[in-house]
Amino acid sequence: MDKDRIIALLNQDLGDEHGAIIQYLTHAYAMGEGEMACEIEATAREEMRHLDWLAETIVELGGVPSLKRGKMRMSGESVAKWMGNDVLLEEGAINQYKEHIELIDDPKIKRVLKRILSDEESHHGDFQHFVDKAEREGAKDIRGNRMDRVVQTLNWGIEHEYTVILQYLFQSYMTTNKEVKKELEDQAINEMQHLGWLAEKLVNISGNPRIEHTEVDQSTKVADMLRADIKIEQEVADEYDRAAKETADPDLKKLLLRLRDHEIYHADVFSALLKEEERQG
């Protein structure tokens, strides 16, 4: 099989991992705190590792990791139904990985896909168990439909965080500068935490987190990447600062100021890297 075809298959897997992550996180956040939500979040983290392995493999082959999110199954009125959707998603993944393992000859890629497949088989069993557990325990969707400025601000934050997670991951895969790659990975992980904090806060105040993103900067030159990142970090730091001043809720204020300080730190890290790059370039 030629490289382009392998890249296309791996990008299909990558998009599906991306869809799985968002589907599982949406479910975990909507259930609030609890053992099952924690386990589902941990599963989403395993899918993130899969996404990472697939993206690195695609880059090794000379390809570009796709940012397209695969199909998600977001319907269902009860937690048990959601868990049923997660079982179906894993079934789809298992079949597709088996197919791709058959099709691809490269032993290293086969090995990675087999490793991922074994995780998906284990997730499949976990979700089957969660269908029963959700029914038995009467697990509930605790999201509300509050729609005011606070909810808008938090959803705006989620949209921003999701966008930069994709942007920093994409850039980290595309750059050959080791120091820049490491910082981008670190900041992407920090932005994932931010997304989680915002979504949890939103659910706690009876809102409904919407996990969508805006346009992702896909510069391939390091200096261009960093300039785009600094700009977005400065914008979001200003916005969190503004929102913190506006709110009367002390917990929300604390959260927003903490986020603001992290974003200022990110902007500083990227600025230092840009200086270094400009000096060398």
18 lines the binding site for Fe ion (CB under 5 A): no
- Compare residues 17 and 183 and give the one whose CB is closer to Fe ion: 17
| Candidates 42-50, 80-88, 141-149, 211-219; binding stretch for Fe ion (CB under 5 A) | 42-50
239 lines the binding site for Fe ion (CB under 5 A): no
Residues 166-195 that bind Fe ion (CB under 5 A): 191, 194
DSSP for 238-278, written as a single string = HHHHHHHHH---HHHHHHHHHHHHHHHHHHHHHHHHHHHHH
13 lines the binding site for Fe ion (CB under 5 A): no
Question: Closest distance between Fe ion and the C-beta of residue 208, in Å?
Answer: 20
User: Directed axis angle between helix 222-246 and helix 250-280, to 10°?
Assistant: 160
Question: Closest distance between Fe ion and the C-beta of residue 140, in Å?
Answer: 27
50 lines the binding site for Fe ion (CB under 5 A): yes
3-state SS class at 216: coil
Max distance between CA atoms of the chain, in angstroms, equals 62
Question: Closest distance between Fe ion and the C-beta of residue 11, in Å?
Answer: 14
**C-alpha triplet 211, 55, 159: angle, nearest 5°:** 15
Identify the residue among 13, 47, 126, 229 touching Fe ion (CB under 5 A): 47
Give yes or no for a contact between 11 and 66, defined as CB atoms under 8 angstroms apart: yes
Report the Cα 132 to chain-centroid distance in Å: 27
266 lines the binding site for Fe ion (CB under 5 A): yes
User: Can you give the binding site for Fe ion, defined by CB under 5 A?
Assistant: 17, 47, 50, 161, 191, 194, 233, 263, 266
